[in-house]
Structure 1
Amino acid sequence: MPEGHTVHRLAAEHQRMFGGRRVAASSPQGRFAEGAARLDGRVPVEADAHGKHLLVRFDHDVTLHVHLGIYGRYVFGEVPAPEPVGAVRLRLEGPGGYADLRGPNRCELLEPGDVKLLRDRLGPDPLRADADPEMAWRRISRSRTPVAVLLMDQSVVAGPGNIYRAEVLFRQGVDPRLPGRRLTREQWAGIWGDLVTLMADGVRDGRIDTVRPEHTPEAMGRPPRVDGHGGEVYVYRRAGQPCLVCGTPVRTVELASRNLFWCPGCQPPAPED
């Protein structure tokens, strides 16, 4: 599933391509025909993202809400657009190009009140200027749930996925199994600060890189990471490989139905109170 930085990049691309210009909307697949008809001939006013949710507001105050889920993806191109290929749920086409949406988890139109309800269900997004990390801290500091699970809960923090949660916990030296209520405020400040910085880098670069300068392939004289997810990371999908910092084999375990990665050497269990 795309992490939050990807959805913010999609919002920026929608704004660049369609913002302020009338678009043609269609649903070649037919599953969003009624919604596309309401958008056809309208003007996208603002494209925004909150966590993993793309929100494109149109001039008649109706908002297109897209959640890509596991299988959803966008294809952008120049006009004239080619004939749609495959199951295209929604095509937007304007002077700046076209966008084809395939396989989203959600593709729907929301009224203003519905948009507010959606936003109210989501935690603070590290990529948004209006994010309040205290909202997340209040929930984390009262919870017995492991911090690694809390960071994947979009109602606690909106945007991070499996990669960012593994990497920020490593960078901050936090045992991912630590109950939220045992996390210190200083540790939370470090986690939040890392999310803000690393996710902004992801928006800029279009990939997730989390290693510090002294641990890059060039600095360490090691081969670059080869993985479909791209990017240089410390622990994500490196189970059994030596930690780039201490050499301890990276471990993995399933936690809340997701694979968790961490270094026992750099992220030792916190002492019991």
Structure 2
Amino acid sequence: MPEGHTLHRLARDLGVAFAGRRVRVSSPQGRFAASAALLDGRVLVGAEAWGKQLFVELEGDPPGELDGERFVHVHLGLIGTFDVHTAPAGAVVPDPVGQVRLRLVADDADADGTDDDAATTAGPTAWADLRGAIVCDLVTAAQRDAVVARMGPDPLRPDADPDRAFEAIRRSRKPIGALLMDQSVLAGVGNVYRAEVLFRDRLHPLRPGNTLQRSRWQALWDDLVALMPQGVATGRIDTVRPEHSPVATGRAPRRDDHGGEVYVYRRTGQPCLVCGRRVATAVLEGRNLFWCSRCQPVFRSRAVG
């Protein structure tokens, strides 16, 4: 499932391609057709990600009205994709291919209420196709806010409050490896970032959340805040420090369809890049864990009695 950096990157790309432009909205597949008809011809205001949730905002009717359905809520799930394309002004938009739930096409001819040639070529040709998402709904601002309220803080958002997540963690006896994947505790972290930040911060994934000191949590949060924007910028997850990189160590670069240089994720049985011990794996709440038993020792409580 795409992690938070993918959604923030997508929101950025949608904004660059469409923000401030009138869009043609359609549903070639047909499943979003009724909602697409309500949105067709509106100006796209922008797109915003909260964790793994994406909200595309379109202008209200009348323009600027805060009520009414004007947010497209998207959750990509395991197989969803939202591909954004741009081409020089005047290029022909290709016909949709496959099961396209939602299609956006920039329509500058109507953006300023005119149909002259200058308006038609005001910006590059842009279109975007959504396929395979588990959620594609037209929602109100209140419904958008309700979805956001159910989520924990997102390390990629400047308004995020890490103390909210810590309060949930310190009250829970569940393993920290499970809590990091709970979107109501922490928004946007998936299996890759979970495995990697726990390794980088030397935390065993099965350590109970209520044993984590605030300072350890702050260090983990700060690591996510540093790592995840890199994923937004590059489109891949790289977590290996320079001293453990292929260039520094002479090892071969990682070859994996997820891309990126990582310490433990999907490296079961391979030597740890730091200590050489074999990377371990187990299943927790239906998802695979990866860790190094030497670099991430089992937590031993110092409590007496």
TM-score clears 0.5: yes
- The separation in 2 between residues aligned to 1:218 and 1:143, in whole angstroms, is 41
Give the superposition deviation at 1:75: 2.0
Query: What is aligned with 1:170?
Result: 199
Secondary structure at 1:49's aligned position in 2? strand
Letter in 2 for 1:131: A
TM-score (norm 2): 0.88
State the Cα deviation string for residues 40-87 of structure 1 (Å, max 9, x = none). Answer: 000111210000011111111511110000010022223421111110
- The separation in 1 between residues aligned to 2:144 and 2:130, in whole angstroms, is 20
- The separation in 2 between residues aligned to 1:270 and 1:260, in whole angstroms, is 16
Q: What is the total number of aligned residue pairs between the two structures?
A: 273
Query: What is aligned with 2:105?
Result: 93
Query: What is aligned with 2:10?
Result: 10
Q: Confirm whether residue 72 of structure 1 aligns to residue 101 of structure 2.
A: no
Q: Confirm whether residue 32 of structure 1 aligns to residue 32 of structure 2.
A: yes
Choose 1 or 2 for highest CA Rg: 2
Query: What is aligned with 2:63?
Result: none
- The separation in 2 between residues aligned to 1:5 and 1:116, in whole angstroms, is 21
Stretches of structure 1 lacking an aligned partner (at least 5 in a row): none
Secondary structure at 1:17's aligned position in 2? helix
Give the superposition deviation at 1:198: 0.6
Letter in 2 for 1:135: R
Letter in 2 for 1:120: A
- The separation in 2 between residues aligned to 1:100 and 1:81, in whole angstroms, is 11
> 2:264·2:292 contact (CA, 8 Å) conserved in 1?
yes
State the Cα deviation string for residues 133-167 of structure 1 (Å, max 9, x = none). Answer: 00000000010000000000000000010000000
Secondary structure at 1:46's aligned position in 2? strand
Secondary structure at 2:29's aligned position in 1? coil
Query: What is aligned with 1:58?
Result: 58
Please identify runs of 4+ aligned residues in structure 1 that moved more than 6 A.
none
- The separation in 2 between residues aligned to 1:54 and 1:169, in whole angstroms, is 26
> 2:30·2:101 contact (CA, 8 Å) conserved in 1?
yes
> 2:199·2:296 contact (CA, 8 Å) conserved in 1?
yes
Query: What is aligned with 1:82?
Result: 94
Matches within 5 A, 1:1-273: 1-60=1-60, 61=66, 62-77=70-85, 78=87, 79-94=91-106, 95-96=123-124, 97-272=126-301, 273=303
State the Cα deviation string for residues 14-41 of structure 1 (Å, max 9, x = none). Answer: 1000000000000000000011111100
> 2:14·2:84 contact (CA, 8 Å) conserved in 1?
no
Secondary structure at 2:22's aligned position in 1? coil
- The separation in 2 between residues aligned to 1:75 and 1:201, in whole angstroms, is 20
- The separation in 2 between residues aligned to 1:51 and 1:265, in whole angstroms, is 31
Letter in 2 for 1:270: F
Letter in 1 for 2:101: R
Moved more, 221-230 or 70-79: 70-79
CA RMSD of superposed structures (Å): 0.9
Letter in 1 for 2:299: A
State the Cα deviation string for residues 178-222 of structure 1 (Å, max 9, x = none). Answer: 000001111101110111111011001110000001000000000
> 2:18·2:46 contact (CA, 8 Å) conserved in 1?
no
